[in-house]
Amino acid sequence: MPPSGKPLVPPKVMMYYIFQGIVEDVERESGVRLGRFLMASFMPLNTLLGIAFSMNPAVYDIVGEKDQKMKILQNIYGLSENMYWLSWYVFYLAIAFICLILIYICWLAVIPVLDTVNFFISLIILSTGFVQSMALVFCLSIFIDRPKVADFVMSFVTMIIVCGSSGLQFLTREATWIGWVGGFIPFCNVFQALTSMLWLSAARSCDDSGACKFVGVNFDTLWVTDICMLDYYPGVVPCFEQAEATIFPLGWAMLLMVVSTVSVVILAWWLSHVRQGQYGMAKPMCFCIMAKYMCPKRVSVSSDASQQDTTAEGRRCVLSIQHLHKVFGDGKVAVDDLCLESYSGEIFALLGHNGAGKTTALNCAVGLIPPTSGETYINGHHVRTDLQRARHQISICPQDNPSYPEFTVRQHLKFFSMLRGVAESDVDGQTSAILKALGLEEKTDSQCGKLSGGQKRRLWVATALIGASPVSFLDEPTSGMDPSSRRELWNLLLRMRDTGRCIIFTTHYLEEADILANRKAVLARGKVQAVGTSRELKHRFGVGYRLTLALSPDRSAPAGELQRFAQEHVPSAALEEGADEDVRQVNITLSFEEVDKFSSLLQALEQSQERLGVLDYILGMSSLEDVFMALGRQAEEEAKRDEGDRTPANVDFQEVEAESPVTQPRAESSEWRNIKAVFSLRLSAMKLNRFRASMVTLVPILLQVAGLSLAGLGSTPGDGGSNGYAIAVYPAMAYGISLVNSASDVVADVKNKCKYVSISQGLTPRAYWLGSFFAHASLLLPLSLSFTVLFFAMRPASIPIQSAPVAVLAMFAYPIPTTLAIYNLASAFSSAESVSKIVPALLIATILLPGMAVWVLSASFIPASLSDVAMAWHIAHSILNPCYCLPGVMSYLVNVDGPKNLSAGEYFGTLSALPLYMMPVTSALYLANLIRLDTKSYKNKPAKPSEERATAEDEDVLAEEDRCRQAAAADDAARYEKLSHTYRVADTGSRPAACAHCTREYKYVNAVRDISLGIQKGECFSLLGPNGAGKTTTLGILTGEIRNPSAGKVSIFGHNMAHEKERVSAFDLLGVCPQVDPLW
C-alpha cells in the first residue's frame, strides 16, 4: 500500500513511483518537491491558457478598429501598414513586459520552479511566445472583419490550442516525430518548450556517491532527452523504469519555436498587404517581387508629369479618375465607367439619389475600398501602385463619424494632425483656429463619444481640413448639422478654396451644391449623367424658365387659355405636367432660347392681368432640383430600355400618390405572441449567419468530443487517471462559448436601443426576457443532447454507468442557472466589446479553475489530508457559483464518488449530486436579481431640475401653456406639462470617466426647461432647434426612452407615462422612429 493509504491500481503504478518519495518527504521538505512536480505537470498548460485567452482582447481591439474604419482612416492620413502593425506590437509589448515580470516573479518566489532554470533561457521562451502569439493575432485579425466573428473564432482557436497541446504532452513520449511536427505548429511549440523546461527543472540527477540534485535548465542540458523523476544510486539502485521519462530536447524545441515565430511574423507582414478585407487596397500576391510596389518612387517619376494637366487659367489637375468600375460581390454595379477630373482651387460636388454611387466613388478614389477596374491619380500619384504617396495628398471626412470614444476633441485632432505630418509646434494653433471656425471651441475637452451627431460631423470636417492637404474628400459633410452650423461650414469651405485647395464633396442638399460648388457631377445608377456649372446644367437639362401664375378663385380664364396667351409671345411656352382646370396656381415653362421675347410677354401679362384672373406672377430660372430630377428620370428610362423589366425602379424618381387614411385598427397583440416573436428573432439571426451558428453549436460539440477522448486516456475502473479533469472542464467550457453569445446579444440590444424601441412599440419586458431565454436555452439544448450521447458512447471507465442519472440531469439542468447568471452579468457591461474581453476570462475563473482545483485536490495521488479542502471548495462553489454545477458533478464523480460503485439511487445522496440540488436555488436567486436589475434600468434617478426657469415672453407660448393647464390631457395626442429634465454627467474633462465617478465630480446639464406643450389629434408637429437644443431629449421622454423626467408630466392620449400600467396602454398607441436607426 502507498503511504497515502489509498488502494493502488495497475495504471497508477507510474504515478505512485513518481510520487512515493515526494509524499514520504512532504513534512521534511515542506512540500517543495511536491509543488515542483505538480507545477511541472500543470504549469505548461495553465501558462498556455493564459497566453491563449490574452489573445481575445487583442483580436477584438484590432478587428473592432478595422470594423469602425479607424484602421483605414489612419492609413489614409499617413500611417503606413508596417507602422500600424508595429504600433500594436509596441503597445502589447509594454503590457507583456509587465506580465512577463509578474509571471517570472511568481514562478521564482511563489512556485519553486525557476530556481534551477537559466534566466536567459526562460526569457527567450516567454518572449518568443509573446511575439509568436501577437503575430498569430495579426494573421487571424486580417481574415476577420466583424468583432462578433472574432469572438467565436478565438474560442475555436483556443479550443484547438488547448486540445492539441494537451495531446502533445502525452503523445510526444510515445513517438518522437510528433514532437518535430508540433515544433512547427504555433503555440504547440511554445507549450512543448515550456514542458521540456519545467520537466528538466523537476528531474533528478545522481552521481556515483549517491548525491542527488535537480537536473535544471542551462545551456549544458538543452539536449537532454532521458530523465529520472526519483532519486537513485547509479550502479546499485538504478532509476525505476516507471520513474523514467523521455522528453523532447529543449534545444530543438526552442530552435523550432524561433523558426516558427519568424515564419509567422513574415506571413503576417505578407498577409497585411495582400488581404485588406472590405476596406483598403490589396496588393497582388507577388507584390514583393514587383518593382512598382517595392520601389514606387522610381516608377512614378515618369507618370507624374503625364497626370499633372493644367487648365487655361493655370489650375493644376489634382484628381483624375479614368474609367472607374466597382462591382460588389453580389453582382451589383455601384460605379460604371466613371471619368472625372478636378482642379486646384475648385469645389466639386457629386450629386445623386441614395444608392447612386457617390460614396462608393469617393471610397474608391481615396483607397478606402478597392475598385474592380479603372485608374485614379491624385497629384500624379497612382492610387493602386503608389498608394502611400497618394494618401499624403488627401484628407477625408467619412460618412459615418467613426472615432475613439475615449479621446477628447483636442486629442482626436492632435492624433490625426500628427499622422498628417503637421509640425508639433503648429498643432495647437491650427486646432484652435479650426474649432473656432466650426463653432466647436467649447467642446475642445469633451470626449468624442459624448458629442451629438452634428458635432461629430463638424469634428470630422475639422479633421479633414486641418493640415492643408491639397485634396479633401467630404462625404455629406453637413448631414445632421443645424442651419447655423451649415452656414459656418460653407464660409469655411469657400475660404479653403481660395487658398488653392481642391474640395470634393457629396450632398443631398441641392441648394448647398448650387452655392458652394464651382462644378457639379450628377450620378445615377453609377454613371455620370452630366458635369458642369450650375448655369450649364440648368441650360442643358433644366426646364428653362418658369412662369408661376397665382389665380383668383373666380377667374374667367382656364389654364389652357393662359398657355395660349403665353404662346402668342413665346411660342415654346408649355404647361407643366399635372396642371388642370381646377388649380389655383399654374406653372408655365419658357425656353432658354427665347429669352429676348420675355419682355413682351410680361408687358402683355401686366396689361391683361385682371382679365385673365391673375392675382400675381413670378418669373424665375429652373432650379438645380429640376436638373437632378430630369437626369434621374432619364437614367431610369435608359436602364429600362437596356435591361427591360429586370431593372428595379428607383422610387426617388417616381410620382407618389397620397394614400387614403388608415381606418383599420391596430392588430391586437398578446404576450405569448411577443415571446414567440423574440424567440424567432434570436434564432433567425443564427439561421442567417451560418458561421455564427456553427461556432455556437458545432465547435462546442467538438470540444466535448475532445474532452471525453482525453478523459478516457489512462482511465480505469476506480481511477480517473491523469486526464480525468478533461470530462469535468471541457464540456462545461463548451457551454461557455454559447454563453458569451447570449451575453453579447443582450448587451447589443441595449447598446443599439433595439430593446427600448421594441418596448415602446408594445413589447413587454417579460416577453423580451422569456423569448430571449427560450432562444438561448434552445441553443444550449443540442450541447446537452450531444453530451448525453457522447457520455454513454465514450464514458471513461472511472465513471460507473450507475451514476448516469445524476450526470444526465446535470447536463440538461446546467443551461438554466448559467443563462440566468450570464444575463445578470451582462447588465454590468455597456458594450459588446467589454463582453468579449471580460466574459471569457470570467468563465475561466468560474468553470475551469474551480473544476481543475477540485479535481487536483481530490485526486488519488494527492495526500488524503487535502481531501477536506477539496470537499469545502466543492460545497462552497456548489452554493455560490452556478457555472460550477456541471464541472463540480463530474469532478467529484471521477475522483471521489465514482470509484465507490454505488447504485443509481445512492449517487443522489452523495456530494456529487449537491450542485444538482443547488441549481434551482441559484436559478431562483439570479432570476429575482434579474427582475430587480431590469426594473431598475427603466427607473433612473434624475437630477433635480435647475431652479432657473425659462421665462416665456411670446404670446403664443403663454397661450399654449394656459391651454395645457386648463384642458384635459386626453384632449391631446401628446401633452407636456411643466416638463424639465437635467442630466447629471461625470465632469471628466480630458480624464477617464471612472476618475470623475470615483471622486464624485459631476456637472449638470439642463436639457429641457419648463416646457408646456400639447400636440393635438390629427396634427403634424415639428420640433426645431440647433444641435443640443433638447429636441431628442424631449422626444425621448415622450417615448419612454428616458424615465423619469426631473420634473413635470408627460402623457399620450391622457395616459401618464410615469405610471407602469398607463405607460403600457400608451405604448399600444405609439410608433417610434428614433434618431440612431436601431436594427436587429
DSSP 420-435: HT--HHHHHHHHHHHH
Mean pLDDT of 395-402: 86
Strands 545-551 and 574-575: unpaired
Q: Which amino acid is present at 869?
A: V
Residue 929's pLDDT is what? 92
Question: What would the pLDDT profile of 940-993 be if each residue is shown by its tens digit?
Answer: 666 565 555 555 567 778 888 888 888 887 778 888 888 888 777 666 554 555
Residue 817's pLDDT is what? 93
Residue 824 has pLDDT above 80, yes or no: yes
DSSP conformation class of 910: S
Question: What would the pLDDT profile of 662-703 be if each residue is shown by its tens digit?
Answer: 444 555 667 888 888 889 888 887 887 777 777 788 878 888
Residue 303 has pLDDT above 50, yes or no: no
Helix ranges restricted to H, 172-227: 176-183, 188-202
Query: Which range among 102-111, 525-534, 886-895, 951-960 shows the weakest confidence by mean pLDDT?
Result: 102-111
Strands 333-343 and 972-986: unpaired
In sequence order, what are the residues at sequence separation of 6 or more whose Cβ sits closer than 8 angstroms to the Cβ of residue 785? none
Q: Hey, which of 154-163, 276-285, 780-789, 1002-1011 has the most confident mean pLDDT?
A: 780-789
Q: DSSP string covering 572-595, please?
A: T-EEPTT--TT-SEEEEEE-GGGG
Query: Which range among 87-91, 108-112, 785-789 shows the weakest confidence by mean pLDDT?
Result: 108-112
C-alpha cell of residue 191:
507549450
Query: Which range among 585-589, 599-603, 621-625 shows the weakest confidence by mean pLDDT?
Result: 621-625
Residue 82, CA distances (Å) to 259, 271, 275, 523, 568 in order: 21, 11, 14, 37, 74
What is the spatial distance between Cα 448 and Cα 653, in angstroms, rounded to a whole number?
Answer: 38
Helix axes 815-826, 765-794, angle to 10 degrees: 140
Q: How confident is the model at residue 821 (pLDDT cuts 50, 70, 90)?
A: very high
What is the spatial distance between Cα 708 and Cα 463, in angstroms, rounded to a whole number?
Answer: 56
**811 φ, ψ (degrees, to nearest 5):** -65, -45
- Domain residue spans of the chain: 11-271, 543-621, 714-747+793-937, 955-1067
Q: How confident is the model at residue 27 (pLDDT cuts 50, 70, 90)?
A: very low
Burial class, 616, CB count within 10 angstroms (exposed 0-12 / middle 13-18 / buried 19+)? exposed
Rg (CA), the chain: 37
Percentage of the chain modeled with pLDDT above 90 = 5
Query: Which range among 46-55, 567-576, 751-760 shows the weakest confidence by mean pLDDT?
Result: 46-55
Mean pLDDT of 132-138: 86
Mean pLDDT of 865-887: 86
Contact status, residue 772 vs residue 759, Cβ threshold 8 Å: no
pTM, two decimals, is: 0.72
What is the spatial distance between Cα 409 and Cα 430, in angstroms, rounded to a whole number?
Answer: 13
> What's the half-sphere exposure (Cβ side, CA atoms, 13 Å) at 457?
17
DSSP conformation class of 231: -
Residue 12's pLDDT is what? 34
Residue 573's pLDDT is what? 81
If one compares 876 and 354, the residue with the highest pLDDT of the two is 876
C-alpha cell of residue 133:
502569439
Residue 578 has pLDDT above 70, yes or no: no
In sequence order, what are the residues at sequence separation of 6 or more whose Cβ sits closer than 8 angstroms to the Cβ of residue 525? 333, 336, 356, 357, 635, 639, 650
- For the chain, the average pLDDT equals 77
> What's the half-sphere exposure (Cβ side, CA atoms, 13 Å) at 1026?
7
What kind of fold does domain 955-1067 have according to CATH? Answer: Rossmann fold (3.40.50)
What is the spatial distance between Cα 536 and Cα 559, in angstroms, rounded to a whole number?
Answer: 31
Residue 107's pLDDT is what? 67
Question: What would the pLDDT profile of 899-929 be if each residue is shown by its tens digit?
Answer: 788 888 888 988 888 999 999 999 999 999 9
Contact status, residue 293 vs residue 387, Cβ threshold 8 Å: no
If one compares 898 and 301, the residue with the highest pLDDT of the two is 898
Mean pLDDT of 266-270: 90
Residue 296, CA distances (Å) to 12, 288, 317, 319, 388 in order: 67, 12, 21, 19, 9
C-alpha cell of residue 604:
402683355
C-alpha cell of residue 849:
479553475
Mean pLDDT of 506-513: 83
Q: Hey, which of 2-6, 33-37, 553-557, 911-915 has the most confident mean pLDDT?
A: 911-915
Residue 823's pLDDT is what? 92
The answer to whether domain 543-621 and domain 955-1067 are alike in fold is no
Question: What would the pLDDT profile of 45-91 be if each residue is shown by its tens digit?
Answer: 666 666 666 677 788 888 888 888 888 888 888 888 888 888 888 88
Residue 312 has pLDDT above 60, yes or no: no
> What's the half-sphere exposure (Cβ side, CA atoms, 13 Å) at 82?
3
Mean pLDDT of 259-277: 88
In sequence order, what are the residues at sequence separation of 6 or more whose Cβ sits closer than 8 angstroms to the Cβ of residue 9? 716, 718, 719
Residue 654, CA distances (Å) to 351, 541, 579, 651, 980 in order: 18, 18, 18, 5, 44
Residue 305 has pLDDT above 60, yes or no: no
Q: Hey, which of 40-49, 161-170, 600-609, 647-656 has the most confident mean pLDDT?
A: 600-609
What is the spatial distance between Cα 530 and Cα 627, in angstroms, rounded to a whole number?
Answer: 10
How many CB atoms neighbour CB 338 within 10 A?
Answer: 26
Contact status, residue 991 vs residue 407, Cβ threshold 8 Å: no
Q: DSSP string covering 33-45, please?
A: HHHHHHHHHHHHH
Q: Cis before residue 674, ω within 30 degrees of 0?
A: no
Q: Which amino acid is present at 773?
A: F
Q: Which CATH architecture has domain 543-621?
A: 2-Layer Sandwich (3.30)
Residue 528 has pLDDT above 70, yes or no: yes
Residue 925's pLDDT is what? 93
C-alpha cell of residue 175:
513517438
CA 98, distance to chain mean position in Å, is: 28
Q: How confident is the model at residue 186 (pLDDT cuts 50, 70, 90)?
A: confident
